[in-house]
Structure 1
Amino acid sequence: MAKNNLKEMSFLDHLEELRWLLVRSTIAILVLALGSFFISDFIFEKILFGPKNPDFITYRFFCEVTQFFGFQDNDICKVEMPFIIQNTDMGGQISFLIWTCITTGFILGFPFIIWEVWKFISPALYDNEKKYAKLFIFVSSLLFFLGVLFGYYIITPLSVYFFGSFSASAEIVNEFNLESYTGMIKTSVIACGLLFELPIIIYFLSKLGLITPTFMRKYRKIALVIVLILSAIITPPDVISQVIVAIPIMMLYEISIFISAFVTKRETLKIKT
Protein backbone atom coordinates (compact mmCIF):
# COMPACT_ATOMS: atom_id res chain seq x y z
CA MET A 1 0.00 0.00 0.00
CA ALA A 2 0.99 3.62 -0.33
CA LYS A 3 3.10 4.89 2.49
CA ASN A 4 1.01 6.92 4.90
CA ASN A 5 2.34 10.31 5.84
CA LEU A 6 2.31 11.36 9.47
CA LYS A 7 0.24 14.24 8.38
CA GLU A 8 -2.17 14.21 5.46
CA MET A 9 -1.40 16.91 2.94
CA SER A 10 -4.17 19.36 2.22
CA PHE A 11 -5.10 20.67 -1.20
CA LEU A 12 -3.10 23.83 -0.55
CA ASP A 13 -0.09 21.73 0.50
CA HIS A 14 -0.26 19.92 -2.85
CA LEU A 15 -0.42 23.25 -4.65
CA GLU A 16 2.62 24.39 -2.70
CA GLU A 17 4.52 21.25 -3.72
CA LEU A 18 3.48 21.81 -7.33
CA ARG A 19 4.63 25.43 -7.15
CA TRP A 20 8.08 24.41 -5.94
CA LEU A 21 8.24 21.71 -8.62
CA LEU A 22 7.69 24.39 -11.26
CA VAL A 23 10.16 26.77 -9.59
CA ARG A 24 12.97 24.21 -9.39
CA SER A 25 12.32 22.99 -12.94
CA THR A 26 12.33 26.56 -14.26
CA ILE A 27 15.62 27.32 -12.51
CA ALA A 28 17.19 24.17 -13.98
CA ILE A 29 16.01 25.11 -17.48
CA LEU A 30 17.34 28.67 -17.15
CA VAL A 31 20.73 27.47 -15.87
CA LEU A 32 21.08 25.07 -18.79
CA ALA A 33 19.82 27.77 -21.16
CA LEU A 34 22.57 30.06 -19.91
CA GLY A 35 25.12 27.32 -20.50
CA SER A 36 23.84 26.73 -24.02
CA PHE A 37 24.34 30.43 -24.76
CA PHE A 38 28.10 29.84 -24.82
CA ILE A 39 27.75 27.22 -27.57
CA SER A 40 25.01 29.06 -29.45
CA ASP A 41 27.10 29.29 -32.63
CA PHE A 42 27.29 25.49 -32.78
CA ILE A 43 23.56 25.14 -32.03
CA PHE A 44 22.61 27.57 -34.79
CA GLU A 45 25.01 26.54 -37.55
CA LYS A 46 25.22 22.78 -37.02
CA ILE A 47 21.84 21.92 -35.48
CA LEU A 48 19.14 24.44 -36.35
CA PHE A 49 20.36 25.15 -39.88
CA GLY A 50 21.70 21.65 -40.46
CA PRO A 51 18.52 20.39 -42.20
CA LYS A 52 18.84 23.31 -44.64
CA ASN A 53 22.05 21.76 -45.97
CA PRO A 54 21.39 19.52 -49.04
CA ASP A 55 24.16 17.23 -47.77
CA PHE A 56 22.39 16.62 -44.43
CA ILE A 57 22.75 13.03 -43.23
CA THR A 58 19.01 12.29 -43.43
CA TYR A 59 18.79 13.17 -47.12
CA ARG A 60 21.74 10.92 -47.90
CA PHE A 61 20.19 8.11 -45.86
CA PHE A 62 16.81 8.34 -47.59
CA CYS A 63 18.52 8.47 -50.96
CA GLU A 64 20.43 5.25 -50.23
CA VAL A 65 17.29 3.53 -48.87
CA THR A 66 15.14 4.42 -51.87
CA GLN A 67 17.89 3.34 -54.27
CA PHE A 68 18.22 0.05 -52.39
CA PHE A 69 14.53 -0.61 -53.05
CA GLY A 70 14.96 0.13 -56.75
CA PHE A 71 13.86 3.76 -56.92
CA GLN A 72 16.84 5.06 -58.86
CA ASP A 73 15.28 8.29 -60.08
CA ASN A 74 13.82 10.02 -57.04
CA ASP A 75 13.70 13.59 -55.83
CA ILE A 76 15.23 12.89 -52.40
CA CYS A 77 18.57 12.19 -54.14
CA LYS A 78 18.43 15.60 -55.83
CA VAL A 79 17.84 17.74 -52.79
CA GLU A 80 17.74 21.46 -53.41
CA MET A 81 16.88 24.16 -50.90
CA PRO A 82 15.82 27.13 -53.05
CA PHE A 83 14.87 29.36 -50.14
CA ILE A 84 16.39 31.85 -47.75
CA ILE A 85 15.69 32.52 -44.09
CA GLN A 86 15.16 36.14 -43.16
CA ASN A 87 14.47 38.16 -40.06
CA THR A 88 11.75 40.80 -40.38
CA ASP A 89 11.42 41.97 -36.76
CA MET A 90 13.64 44.54 -35.07
CA GLY A 91 14.27 42.30 -32.07
CA GLY A 92 13.76 39.06 -33.96
CA GLN A 93 17.29 37.75 -33.66
CA ILE A 94 17.47 38.50 -29.95
CA SER A 95 14.18 36.68 -29.40
CA PHE A 96 15.48 33.84 -31.57
CA LEU A 97 18.63 33.53 -29.47
CA ILE A 98 16.77 33.58 -26.13
CA TRP A 99 14.08 31.06 -27.04
CA THR A 100 16.56 28.73 -28.72
CA CYS A 101 18.63 28.64 -25.54
CA ILE A 102 15.52 28.07 -23.41
CA THR A 103 14.39 25.23 -25.68
CA THR A 104 17.84 23.67 -25.43
CA GLY A 105 17.69 24.06 -21.65
CA PHE A 106 14.32 22.29 -21.54
CA ILE A 107 15.56 19.36 -23.65
CA LEU A 108 18.77 18.92 -21.66
CA GLY A 109 16.95 19.39 -18.36
CA PHE A 110 14.19 16.88 -19.08
CA PRO A 111 15.62 14.15 -16.79
CA PHE A 112 15.64 16.61 -13.88
CA ILE A 113 12.05 17.65 -14.66
CA ILE A 114 11.00 13.99 -14.70
CA TRP A 115 12.72 13.50 -11.35
CA GLU A 116 10.75 16.40 -9.91
CA VAL A 117 7.50 14.96 -11.33
CA TRP A 118 8.33 11.59 -9.77
CA LYS A 119 8.85 13.18 -6.36
CA PHE A 120 5.48 14.89 -6.71
CA ILE A 121 3.50 11.75 -7.61
CA SER A 122 5.43 9.19 -5.55
CA PRO A 123 3.37 9.69 -2.33
CA ALA A 124 0.36 8.24 -4.18
CA LEU A 125 2.26 5.10 -5.21
CA TYR A 126 2.65 1.80 -3.40
CA ASP A 127 5.83 1.26 -1.41
CA ASN A 128 7.04 -1.48 -3.77
CA GLU A 129 6.55 0.89 -6.72
CA LYS A 130 8.64 3.70 -5.27
CA LYS A 131 11.83 1.66 -5.64
CA TYR A 132 11.50 1.94 -9.41
CA ALA A 133 12.31 5.66 -9.37
CA LYS A 134 15.64 5.29 -11.17
CA LEU A 135 14.12 2.98 -13.77
CA PHE A 136 11.24 5.40 -14.35
CA ILE A 137 13.58 8.36 -14.82
CA PHE A 138 15.92 6.38 -17.09
CA VAL A 139 13.15 4.99 -19.33
CA SER A 140 11.28 8.31 -19.50
CA SER A 141 14.45 10.22 -20.38
CA LEU A 142 15.52 7.60 -22.91
CA LEU A 143 12.14 7.69 -24.67
CA PHE A 144 12.16 11.48 -24.70
CA PHE A 145 15.64 11.74 -26.20
CA LEU A 146 14.82 9.06 -28.77
CA GLY A 147 11.77 11.12 -29.71
CA VAL A 148 13.88 14.26 -29.97
CA LEU A 149 16.34 12.49 -32.27
CA PHE A 150 13.48 11.08 -34.34
CA GLY A 151 11.93 14.54 -34.63
CA TYR A 152 15.22 16.14 -35.60
CA TYR A 153 16.63 13.54 -37.98
CA ILE A 154 13.38 12.33 -39.56
CA ILE A 155 10.44 14.74 -39.16
CA THR A 156 12.38 18.02 -39.39
CA PRO A 157 14.46 17.36 -42.55
CA LEU A 158 11.50 15.85 -44.38
CA SER A 159 9.40 18.89 -43.49
CA VAL A 160 12.16 21.32 -44.46
CA TYR A 161 12.71 19.44 -47.71
CA PHE A 162 9.02 19.39 -48.61
CA PHE A 163 8.14 22.98 -47.75
CA GLY A 164 11.48 24.37 -48.88
CA SER A 165 11.35 22.79 -52.33
CA PHE A 166 7.62 23.13 -52.92
CA SER A 167 6.57 25.80 -55.39
CA ALA A 168 3.07 26.58 -56.62
CA SER A 169 4.47 28.90 -59.26
CA ALA A 170 7.89 29.77 -60.66
CA GLU A 171 7.06 33.42 -59.97
CA ILE A 172 6.95 32.78 -56.20
CA VAL A 173 10.21 32.84 -54.25
CA ASN A 174 10.39 31.11 -50.87
CA GLU A 175 11.69 33.51 -48.24
CA PHE A 176 10.84 32.00 -44.86
CA ASN A 177 10.62 34.03 -41.70
CA LEU A 178 13.20 33.10 -39.06
CA GLU A 179 10.52 32.51 -36.44
CA SER A 180 8.54 30.27 -38.80
CA TYR A 181 11.56 28.11 -39.66
CA THR A 182 12.86 27.67 -36.12
CA GLY A 183 9.36 27.30 -34.72
CA MET A 184 8.72 24.33 -36.99
CA ILE A 185 11.93 22.65 -35.85
CA LYS A 186 11.29 23.25 -32.15
CA THR A 187 7.71 22.05 -32.42
CA SER A 188 8.69 18.91 -34.32
CA VAL A 189 11.48 18.01 -31.92
CA ILE A 190 9.63 18.63 -28.65
CA ALA A 191 6.35 17.16 -29.93
CA CYS A 192 8.11 13.93 -30.97
CA GLY A 193 9.94 13.82 -27.65
CA LEU A 194 6.66 14.03 -25.76
CA LEU A 195 4.94 11.63 -28.21
CA PHE A 196 7.56 8.99 -27.41
CA GLU A 197 6.43 9.20 -23.78
CA LEU A 198 3.26 7.34 -24.85
CA PRO A 199 4.22 4.07 -23.07
CA ILE A 200 4.79 5.96 -19.80
CA ILE A 201 1.47 7.81 -20.15
CA ILE A 202 -0.37 4.56 -20.92
CA TYR A 203 1.20 2.96 -17.85
CA PHE A 204 -0.27 5.55 -15.50
CA LEU A 205 -3.61 5.76 -17.32
CA SER A 206 -3.91 1.99 -17.04
CA LYS A 207 -3.12 2.12 -13.33
CA LEU A 208 -5.91 4.64 -12.90
CA GLY A 209 -8.27 2.44 -14.93
CA LEU A 210 -8.82 5.14 -17.55
CA ILE A 211 -7.64 2.97 -20.43
CA THR A 212 -7.51 -0.76 -21.11
CA PRO A 213 -5.68 -2.98 -23.62
CA THR A 214 -9.07 -4.01 -25.01
CA PHE A 215 -9.83 -0.39 -25.87
CA MET A 216 -6.46 0.08 -27.55
CA ARG A 217 -6.77 -3.11 -29.58
CA LYS A 218 -10.30 -2.17 -30.64
CA TYR A 219 -9.14 1.15 -32.09
CA ARG A 220 -5.80 -0.09 -33.47
CA LYS A 221 -6.94 0.27 -37.09
CA ILE A 222 -8.12 3.82 -36.49
CA ALA A 223 -4.78 4.65 -34.87
CA LEU A 224 -2.96 3.18 -37.88
CA VAL A 225 -4.99 5.30 -40.30
CA ILE A 226 -4.29 8.46 -38.27
CA VAL A 227 -0.57 7.70 -38.18
CA LEU A 228 -0.45 7.08 -41.94
CA ILE A 229 -2.30 10.33 -42.64
CA LEU A 230 0.12 12.28 -40.44
CA SER A 231 3.07 10.55 -42.12
CA ALA A 232 1.72 11.48 -45.55
CA ILE A 233 1.40 15.12 -44.49
CA ILE A 234 4.88 15.57 -43.03
CA THR A 235 6.91 13.50 -45.51
CA PRO A 236 7.67 13.78 -49.22
CA PRO A 237 5.07 12.13 -51.47
CA ASP A 238 6.63 8.66 -51.63
CA VAL A 239 5.62 5.47 -49.85
CA ILE A 240 9.08 4.64 -48.46
CA SER A 241 9.36 7.90 -46.50
CA GLN A 242 5.84 7.54 -45.11
CA VAL A 243 6.47 3.98 -43.93
CA ILE A 244 9.77 4.94 -42.27
CA VAL A 245 7.96 7.60 -40.23
CA ALA A 246 4.91 5.46 -39.41
CA ILE A 247 6.74 2.32 -38.23
CA PRO A 248 8.27 3.65 -34.97
CA ILE A 249 5.02 5.37 -33.98
CA MET A 250 3.02 2.17 -34.44
CA MET A 251 5.70 0.25 -32.55
CA LEU A 252 5.18 2.59 -29.63
CA TYR A 253 1.44 1.98 -29.85
CA GLU A 254 1.92 -1.80 -29.76
CA ILE A 255 4.34 -1.53 -26.84
CA SER A 256 1.77 0.60 -25.03
CA ILE A 257 -0.87 -2.13 -25.52
CA PHE A 258 1.48 -4.66 -23.93
CA ILE A 259 2.18 -2.29 -21.03
CA SER A 260 -1.53 -1.62 -20.52
CA ALA A 261 -2.27 -5.37 -20.48
CA PHE A 262 0.49 -5.98 -17.93
CA VAL A 263 -0.66 -3.18 -15.63
CA THR A 264 -4.35 -4.09 -15.92
CA LYS A 265 -3.63 -7.74 -15.08
CA ARG A 266 -1.53 -6.79 -12.07
CA GLU A 267 -4.12 -4.35 -10.74
CA THR A 268 -6.83 -7.01 -11.14
CA LEU A 269 -4.79 -9.49 -9.10
CA LYS A 270 -4.29 -6.90 -6.35
CA ILE A 271 -8.03 -6.35 -6.11
CA LYS A 272 -8.72 -10.11 -5.89
CA THR A 273 -6.16 -10.57 -3.11
Structure 2
Amino acid sequence: MSQNQTPETNTEDGIQETFLSHLFELRDRLIKSFVALLIVFIGLVYWAPDIFHLFAKPLLDALPNGGRMIVTDVTGSFFVPMKVTLLVAFLGALPYIMYQLWSFIAPGLYSHERKLVIPIVTSSYILFISGMAFAYFLVFPTVFSFMAHYNAPLGADMATDIDKYLSFAMTTFLAFGLTFEVPVVVVVLVKLGMIRTKKLKEIRPYVIVGAFIIAAVVTPPDVLSQLLLAVPLCVLYELGVFVARFYEAPLDPADETTDDK
Protein backbone atom coordinates (compact mmCIF):
# COMPACT_ATOMS: atom_id res chain seq x y z
CA MET A 1 0.00 0.00 0.00
CA SER A 2 1.41 3.41 -0.95
CA GLN A 3 1.84 6.10 1.63
CA ASN A 4 -0.74 8.33 -0.08
CA GLN A 5 -3.49 5.69 0.17
CA THR A 6 -5.42 5.13 3.38
CA PRO A 7 -7.96 2.46 4.31
CA GLU A 8 -10.70 5.10 4.10
CA THR A 9 -9.65 5.97 0.54
CA ASN A 10 -9.67 2.32 -0.51
CA THR A 11 -13.11 1.86 1.03
CA GLU A 12 -14.50 4.87 -0.81
CA ASP A 13 -13.00 3.66 -4.10
CA GLY A 14 -14.54 0.23 -3.53
CA ILE A 15 -17.97 1.69 -2.85
CA GLN A 16 -17.72 3.89 -5.93
CA GLU A 17 -16.68 0.94 -8.13
CA THR A 18 -19.56 -1.15 -6.76
CA PHE A 19 -22.03 1.64 -7.41
CA LEU A 20 -20.78 2.11 -10.96
CA SER A 21 -20.89 -1.62 -11.64
CA HIS A 22 -24.52 -1.75 -10.49
CA LEU A 23 -25.29 1.31 -12.60
CA PHE A 24 -23.75 -0.30 -15.69
CA GLU A 25 -25.63 -3.52 -15.04
CA LEU A 26 -28.90 -1.60 -14.71
CA ARG A 27 -28.16 0.17 -17.99
CA ASP A 28 -27.49 -3.11 -19.77
CA ARG A 29 -30.69 -4.69 -18.47
CA LEU A 30 -32.75 -1.64 -19.45
CA ILE A 31 -31.27 -1.82 -22.94
CA LYS A 32 -32.13 -5.54 -23.15
CA SER A 33 -35.68 -4.79 -22.01
CA PHE A 34 -36.05 -2.00 -24.57
CA VAL A 35 -34.69 -4.22 -27.35
CA ALA A 36 -37.15 -6.98 -26.40
CA LEU A 37 -40.02 -4.48 -26.46
CA LEU A 38 -38.86 -3.15 -29.82
CA ILE A 39 -38.62 -6.64 -31.32
CA VAL A 40 -42.16 -7.54 -30.22
CA PHE A 41 -43.46 -4.19 -31.45
CA ILE A 42 -41.84 -4.60 -34.88
CA GLY A 43 -43.30 -8.09 -35.10
CA LEU A 44 -46.80 -6.73 -34.45
CA VAL A 45 -46.72 -3.39 -36.27
CA TYR A 46 -47.91 -4.90 -39.59
CA TRP A 47 -51.15 -5.90 -37.90
CA ALA A 48 -51.63 -2.53 -36.13
CA PRO A 49 -54.99 -1.77 -37.85
CA ASP A 50 -56.32 -5.22 -36.96
CA ILE A 51 -55.10 -4.86 -33.38
CA PHE A 52 -56.84 -1.50 -33.07
CA HIS A 53 -60.05 -2.94 -34.54
CA LEU A 54 -59.96 -5.71 -31.93
CA PHE A 55 -59.16 -3.11 -29.28
CA ALA A 56 -62.18 -1.01 -30.32
CA LYS A 57 -64.55 -3.96 -30.82
CA PRO A 58 -66.48 -3.50 -27.53
CA LEU A 59 -67.40 0.05 -28.54
CA LEU A 60 -68.09 -0.79 -32.19
CA ASP A 61 -70.45 -3.59 -31.18
CA ALA A 62 -72.36 -1.26 -28.86
CA LEU A 63 -72.81 1.55 -31.39
CA PRO A 64 -76.30 1.88 -32.87
CA ASN A 65 -76.92 1.85 -36.60
CA GLY A 66 -75.13 4.79 -38.09
CA GLY A 67 -72.76 5.13 -35.15
CA ARG A 68 -69.09 5.22 -35.93
CA MET A 69 -65.65 6.18 -34.69
CA ILE A 70 -64.08 9.35 -36.02
CA VAL A 71 -60.63 10.93 -36.25
CA THR A 72 -60.36 14.59 -35.28
CA ASP A 73 -56.56 14.77 -35.30
CA VAL A 74 -54.64 14.78 -38.58
CA THR A 75 -52.17 12.14 -37.36
CA GLY A 76 -54.62 10.25 -35.16
CA SER A 77 -55.33 7.50 -37.69
CA PHE A 78 -51.62 6.60 -37.64
CA PHE A 79 -50.47 7.20 -34.08
CA VAL A 80 -53.46 5.76 -32.19
CA PRO A 81 -53.11 2.25 -33.71
CA MET A 82 -49.36 2.50 -33.09
CA LYS A 83 -49.96 3.32 -29.41
CA VAL A 84 -52.35 0.39 -29.06
CA THR A 85 -49.84 -1.93 -30.73
CA LEU A 86 -47.12 -0.62 -28.41
CA LEU A 87 -49.33 -1.43 -25.43
CA VAL A 88 -49.84 -4.98 -26.67
CA ALA A 89 -46.11 -5.31 -27.32
CA PHE A 90 -45.34 -4.12 -23.80
CA LEU A 91 -47.69 -6.71 -22.31
CA GLY A 92 -46.08 -9.38 -24.47
CA ALA A 93 -42.56 -8.39 -23.47
CA LEU A 94 -43.43 -7.76 -19.82
CA PRO A 95 -42.41 -11.26 -18.59
CA TYR A 96 -38.93 -10.76 -20.05
CA ILE A 97 -38.74 -7.21 -18.64
CA MET A 98 -39.73 -8.51 -15.22
CA TYR A 99 -37.10 -11.23 -15.53
CA GLN A 100 -34.43 -8.58 -16.16
CA LEU A 101 -35.64 -6.64 -13.13
CA TRP A 102 -35.60 -9.78 -11.02
CA SER A 103 -32.07 -10.66 -12.17
CA PHE A 104 -30.90 -7.20 -11.14
CA ILE A 105 -32.33 -7.19 -7.63
CA ALA A 106 -31.93 -10.91 -6.80
CA PRO A 107 -28.28 -10.74 -5.65
CA GLY A 108 -29.25 -8.26 -2.93
CA LEU A 109 -32.02 -10.41 -1.46
CA TYR A 110 -31.95 -13.09 1.21
CA SER A 111 -32.79 -16.65 0.22
CA HIS A 112 -36.26 -16.55 1.81
CA GLU A 113 -36.97 -13.27 0.02
CA ARG A 114 -35.98 -14.78 -3.31
CA LYS A 115 -38.48 -17.58 -2.78
CA LEU A 116 -41.20 -14.99 -2.21
CA VAL A 117 -40.40 -12.72 -5.14
CA ILE A 118 -41.05 -15.20 -7.95
CA PRO A 119 -44.62 -16.06 -6.82
CA ILE A 120 -45.33 -12.36 -6.24
CA VAL A 121 -44.06 -11.30 -9.66
CA THR A 122 -45.89 -14.13 -11.43
CA SER A 123 -49.19 -13.55 -9.62
CA SER A 124 -48.90 -9.78 -10.13
CA TYR A 125 -48.55 -10.24 -13.90
CA ILE A 126 -51.43 -12.71 -14.09
CA LEU A 127 -53.71 -10.55 -11.94
CA PHE A 128 -52.92 -7.39 -13.91
CA ILE A 129 -53.76 -9.15 -17.20
CA SER A 130 -56.90 -10.55 -15.56
CA GLY A 131 -57.95 -7.05 -14.54
CA MET A 132 -57.52 -5.79 -18.10
CA ALA A 133 -59.45 -8.79 -19.44
CA PHE A 134 -62.24 -8.14 -16.93
CA ALA A 135 -62.47 -4.55 -18.16
CA TYR A 136 -62.40 -5.55 -21.84
CA PHE A 137 -64.87 -8.43 -21.78
CA LEU A 138 -67.30 -7.28 -19.11
CA VAL A 139 -66.95 -3.60 -18.23
CA PHE A 140 -66.58 -2.16 -21.72
CA PRO A 141 -69.58 -3.94 -23.32
CA THR A 142 -71.78 -3.16 -20.29
CA VAL A 143 -70.84 0.53 -20.06
CA PHE A 144 -70.92 1.16 -23.82
CA SER A 145 -74.30 -0.52 -24.24
CA PHE A 146 -75.67 1.52 -21.34
CA MET A 147 -74.33 4.74 -22.84
CA ALA A 148 -75.68 3.92 -26.31
CA HIS A 149 -79.18 3.29 -24.97
CA TYR A 150 -78.99 6.43 -22.86
CA ASN A 151 -77.96 8.44 -25.92
CA ALA A 152 -80.80 7.14 -28.13
CA PRO A 153 -83.63 9.27 -26.66
CA LEU A 154 -81.57 12.40 -27.28
CA GLY A 155 -81.67 11.82 -31.02
CA ALA A 156 -77.96 12.55 -31.29
CA ASP A 157 -75.51 10.62 -33.44
CA MET A 158 -72.97 8.72 -31.37
CA ALA A 159 -69.49 9.28 -32.81
CA THR A 160 -66.42 8.77 -30.66
CA ASP A 161 -62.95 10.07 -31.46
CA ILE A 162 -60.42 7.23 -31.51
CA ASP A 163 -57.90 9.21 -29.46
CA LYS A 164 -60.44 9.87 -26.70
CA TYR A 165 -61.44 6.22 -26.77
CA LEU A 166 -57.79 5.27 -26.35
CA SER A 167 -57.46 7.57 -23.32
CA PHE A 168 -60.63 6.16 -21.76
CA ALA A 169 -59.57 2.57 -22.40
CA MET A 170 -56.04 3.09 -21.06
CA THR A 171 -57.36 4.71 -17.88
CA THR A 172 -59.86 1.90 -17.38
CA PHE A 173 -57.27 -0.81 -18.06
CA LEU A 174 -54.90 0.77 -15.56
CA ALA A 175 -57.62 1.15 -12.93
CA PHE A 176 -58.79 -2.47 -13.18
CA GLY A 177 -55.26 -3.82 -13.57
CA LEU A 178 -54.18 -2.13 -10.34
CA THR A 179 -57.42 -3.14 -8.63
CA PHE A 180 -56.69 -6.79 -9.30
CA GLU A 181 -53.31 -6.34 -7.57
CA VAL A 182 -55.04 -5.89 -4.18
CA PRO A 183 -54.62 -9.54 -3.08
CA VAL A 184 -50.88 -9.36 -3.76
CA VAL A 185 -50.52 -6.13 -1.80
CA VAL A 186 -52.44 -7.57 1.16
CA VAL A 187 -50.39 -10.77 1.21
CA VAL A 188 -47.09 -8.87 1.00
CA LEU A 189 -48.05 -6.53 3.86
CA VAL A 190 -49.01 -9.47 6.05
CA LYS A 191 -45.94 -11.51 5.08
CA LEU A 192 -43.65 -8.60 5.98
CA GLY A 193 -45.37 -8.26 9.33
CA MET A 194 -46.58 -4.74 8.64
CA ILE A 195 -50.18 -5.61 9.46
CA ARG A 196 -52.16 -8.53 10.87
CA THR A 197 -55.15 -10.20 9.26
CA LYS A 198 -57.14 -9.37 12.39
CA LYS A 199 -56.54 -5.67 11.72
CA LEU A 200 -57.46 -6.10 8.06
CA LYS A 201 -60.82 -7.51 9.10
CA GLU A 202 -61.38 -4.64 11.51
CA ILE A 203 -60.84 -1.98 8.83
CA ARG A 204 -63.15 -3.74 6.34
CA PRO A 205 -65.87 -1.01 6.53
CA TYR A 206 -63.30 1.67 5.69
CA VAL A 207 -62.01 -0.39 2.79
CA ILE A 208 -65.53 -0.70 1.36
CA VAL A 209 -66.08 3.05 1.58
CA GLY A 210 -62.66 3.67 0.05
CA ALA A 211 -63.41 1.27 -2.79
CA PHE A 212 -66.50 3.22 -3.80
CA ILE A 213 -64.63 6.52 -3.52
CA ILE A 214 -61.86 5.22 -5.78
CA ALA A 215 -64.42 3.87 -8.23
CA ALA A 216 -66.19 7.24 -8.33
CA VAL A 217 -62.93 9.01 -9.13
CA VAL A 218 -61.42 6.75 -11.82
CA THR A 219 -64.54 5.53 -13.66
CA PRO A 220 -67.10 7.37 -15.81
CA PRO A 221 -69.78 9.23 -13.84
CA ASP A 222 -72.38 6.46 -13.96
CA VAL A 223 -73.38 4.12 -11.18
CA LEU A 224 -72.98 0.98 -13.26
CA SER A 225 -69.29 1.40 -14.04
CA GLN A 226 -68.59 2.44 -10.46
CA LEU A 227 -70.19 -0.75 -9.19
CA LEU A 228 -68.21 -2.80 -11.69
CA LEU A 229 -65.01 -1.50 -10.11
CA ALA A 230 -65.97 -1.15 -6.45
CA VAL A 231 -67.50 -4.62 -6.05
CA PRO A 232 -64.49 -6.53 -7.48
CA LEU A 233 -62.21 -4.36 -5.35
CA CYS A 234 -64.05 -5.44 -2.19
CA VAL A 235 -64.10 -9.09 -3.28
CA LEU A 236 -60.39 -9.05 -4.09
CA TYR A 237 -59.64 -7.50 -0.71
CA GLU A 238 -61.46 -10.35 0.98
CA LEU A 239 -59.56 -12.82 -1.19
CA GLY A 240 -56.29 -11.21 -0.15
CA VAL A 241 -57.22 -11.43 3.54
CA PHE A 242 -58.10 -15.11 3.13
CA VAL A 243 -54.86 -15.99 1.33
CA ALA A 244 -52.77 -13.90 3.73
CA ARG A 245 -53.78 -16.20 6.61
CA PHE A 246 -51.46 -18.88 5.16
CA TYR A 247 -48.48 -16.48 5.07
CA GLU A 248 -48.99 -14.82 8.44
CA ALA A 249 -46.29 -15.45 11.03
CA PRO A 250 -47.50 -16.80 14.40
CA LEU A 251 -48.07 -14.11 16.97
CA ASP A 252 -45.92 -14.17 20.09
CA PRO A 253 -47.88 -14.68 23.34
CA ALA A 254 -46.61 -11.32 24.66
CA ASP A 255 -47.70 -9.52 21.50
CA GLU A 256 -51.05 -11.29 21.55
CA THR A 257 -51.63 -10.10 25.12
CA THR A 258 -50.78 -6.56 24.08
CA ASP A 259 -53.19 -6.72 21.12
CA ASP A 260 -55.99 -7.97 23.33
CA LYS A 261 -55.55 -4.97 25.62
Q: Number of matched residues? A: 237
CA deviations on 1:82-129 (whole Å, 9 max, x unpaired) are: 743211111111111221111111122222222223223323432144
Query: Match for residue 36 of structure 1?
Result: 44
Q: Is the 8 A contact 1:207 1:267 kept in 2?
A: no
Structure 2 unaligned regions, length at least 5: 1-13, 254-261
Aligned partner letter, 1:29: L
- After superposition, the CA RMSD in angstroms is 3.7
Query: Match for residue 60 of structure 2?
Result: 52
Aligned ranges for residues 172-251 of structure 1 at < 5 Å?
172-228=156-212, 234=220, 237=223, 245-251=229-235
Deviation at 1:205, TM superposition (A): 4.0
Higher alpha-carbon deviation: 215-224 or 88-97 = 215-224
Q: Is the 8 A contact 1:82 1:165 kept in 2?
A: no
* CA–CA distance in structure 1, aligned partners of residues 105 and 241 of structure 2: 23
Structure 1 unaligned regions, length at least 5: 1-6, 55-78
Percent of residue pairs identical: 27
CA deviations on 1:40-64 (whole Å, 9 max, x unpaired) are: 243122332343204xxxxxxxxxx
Aligned ranges for residues 127-138 of structure 1 at < 5 Å?
127-131=111-115, 135-138=119-122
Q: Is the 8 A contact 1:52 1:160 kept in 2?
A: no
* CA–CA distance in structure 2, aligned partners of residues 205 and 165 of structure 1: 44
Aligned partner letter, 2:56: L
* CA–CA distance in structure 2, aligned partners of residues 117 and 263 of structure 1: 24
Query: Match for residue 78 of structure 2?
Result: 94
With over 3 angstroms needed to count, the CA separation of the structure-2 counterparts of 1:163 and 1:249, relative to structure 1, is same
With over 3 angstroms needed to count, the CA separation of the structure-2 counterparts of 1:166 and 1:253, relative to structure 1, is same
CA deviations on 1:130-177 (whole Å, 9 max, x unpaired) are: 245654443233212211211211222233334444449836543322
With over 3 angstroms needed to count, the CA separation of the structure-2 counterparts of 1:134 and 1:209, relative to structure 1, is closer
